[in-house]
Amino acid sequence: MCGIAGLIVRPGERPDEAVLSAMTESLRHRGPDAGGVLIEGNLGLGHRRLAIIDLSRSADQPLGNEDGTVQVILNGEIYNFQALRAELEARGHRFRTQSDTEAIAHGWEEWGPAVVGRLRGMFAFVVADLARRRVFLARDRLGKKPFYYRATAEGFTFASEIKALRRLPEISSDLDLAALGEFFAFGNVAGERSIWREVRRLPPGCCLSLDLDGSPLRFAVERYWRFEPDPDPRLDAGAFAEELDARLSEAVRLRMIADVPLGAFLSGGIDSSLIVAYMARHATEAVSTFAIGFTDPRWNEAPYARAVADHLGTSHHEEIVEADAVALLPELAAVYDEPFGDPSSIPTFLLCKTTRQHVTVALSGDGGDELFFGYDRYRASGKLAQLSRLATPAGRAAARGAAHLFPPGAYLRRALDRGSRSGSELYLHALGFSSDHLEMLRPAVREALGSAREQKIARDFQDRAGLAYLDRCRAVDLDNYLPDQVLVKVDRASMRHALEVRCPLLDQEVAELAARVPSQFQIGRREQKLLLRQLAYRHVPRQLLDRPKRGFGVPLARWLKTDLAPQLERLIADSSHPVWGLVDRFEAGHRFEIHRTGRGDDSYPLWRTLVCARWLEAVGLDTSGLMAREVVPLPSRILGASHQRALP
């Protein structure tokens, strides 16, 4: 796990080494163990290393092939590097390190761009083929590792985090107002957008190539992998369970390969408990596990984690905290680079901090809910979608009446009351989207937002038109919610503390098996994730695991009435704060009064206002005159084929 950065300028020019060094240094938290910069012609590569495999200096990056004509920088891990190395050595390649990164360099020599399809891991990497004057960039299939870029008349720049791109002296401070509106509507910036007009994100499962001698420079983006549900009704649930058991066990074993101390997050839920059970199967000593809890018993899952740890015989570390959201907010604003509205970033940040005091690598259960239908909203929106499709008043009334039976029912009922009947509309409302949240925004931000996100979700649903509703929901989650929210949260929180987090449930072979599992094998009348439950019960007594699902969250509504209330009061009283260039201060004050007096719950729009305010302070941005700026359209959609873009 590391940080990467790079500069590509016009042919005949040379990158500014001081700028590249500053970009690379800004990523030191991702890689505190070593740093390197390489400039060849109009290309500059920078790397910060967190040493995990082969701790010697010979494995520092950029790392090349035998003659140095191929150079690689990698953020992430290649879990099948040993098998790739054996295959490449049999073909005559000579390795000089034990690093997983070197397998990419030799793999490029052997297979060219097709090397990305052979990699099993989490990655954002760059291959510089200096002999052919070509650069190839790729991001892993499900988006575990980040990759941002900026394309302008000056050239092409890329980095693991936006903060590195902000080191460019010529970069604009113009916001993308549509992205800002998305944050208030959904809690995060999604897809190819970033909060800054000039910065874009390479989507998961995509690669990008660029000819260093092109004039003008042009780059091509191509999708090499996409989650494609293909339910196979010929196999029974038992056969799927056995195959899943084998694939998950192997995925865990591969992720335990490290030359540094290793452990696991343990919440006591299905996913993390199963991962730890497999680790115990492969380990030669007690597995180190980590959990945090809150003093508020309604949000404290530490006892569940402790019970599972005792049963599996782990070396368990537990810290009970009352998360000091007031103190953490400014730091989180700097960590995430963009406004990020998921309040579970607080316990995630604290868990990573605690874990890094003991180990350098931690395995987690992320991905289980998305791949194996773990969210309550799957069952809820699926049932309501069936009812709402009935073209009778009775059917629509039944759907509205049933909405209150499910955890996300308030949003779903509101959607049904407004006549929302399409699958994508129900999906959005089950996810927590409410147009009511947008009423706090200034008109210019609402206008810039438009309905781009809803239209993208609708297109994603349409792309999977031949699938059952729940399979479509899962696929859309894996394209959007997982990479844009869940994995962003974990990557930034963990790398702030130089902790590598590995996700066996997001292994590509596990994901491709999950794509074949019919939803009826996964969702029962009262439970979800039936296959994972079946496997977990083999290792942990079901009485330790069977309890209502609770997300890794915080008592947000209470905090906004107590710990965070003074911050909101001061913010609303400060009429000159830049956040009021984006949000209607009167409307925010009105909602805060309703919330703290218990007459309603506006936790999320209030929280997002506070998060945005702290982010604006962290970047020192003045919003005066912002409303008159032009909204930049998104790049064209990425489908199966590549498309060319010329730099301005």
SS3 (DSSP) at 537: coil
Q: How buried is residue 228: exposed, middle or buried, by Cβ count under 10 Å (0-12/13-18/19+)?
A: exposed
Listed in sequence order, the DSSP H helices in 255-269 are none
- Cα–Cα distance, 306 to 316 (Å, whole number): 7
Counting Cβ atoms within 10 Å, is residue 322 exposed (0-12), middle (13-18) or buried (19+)? middle
- Catalytic site residue from 2, 473, 503, 612: 2
Distance of alpha carbon 293 from its chain centroid, rounded?
A: 23
The token duo for 308 is 């599972």
Q: How far apart are CA 437 and CA 608, in angstroms?
A: 10
Q: Which DSSP letter does residue 53 get?
A: S
At a CB cut-off of 8 Å and minimum separation 6, what does 626 contact? 175, 177, 444, 581, 582
Q: How far is CA 647 from the centre of its chain?
A: 28
Helices (H) and strands (E) in the chain, counts: 27, 18
d(CA 69, CA 105) in angstroms, rounded, equals 10
How far apart are alpha carbons 110 and 502 in whole angstroms? 28
- Tokens of residue 545, six digits: 């695991």
Give the distance from CA 114 to its chain's centroid: 25
In the DSSP assignment, the letter for residue 463 is H
Distance CA 530, CA 237 (A): 9
Tokens of 205: 């499962």
Phi/psi at 222 (5° precision): -140, 140
Measure the CA–CA gap between 470 and 27, rounded to whole angstroms.
39
2 catalytic residue (yes or no): yes
Q: What count of Cα atoms within 13 Å lies in the side-chain half-sphere of residue 178?
A: 18
- Residues serving a catalytic function are 2
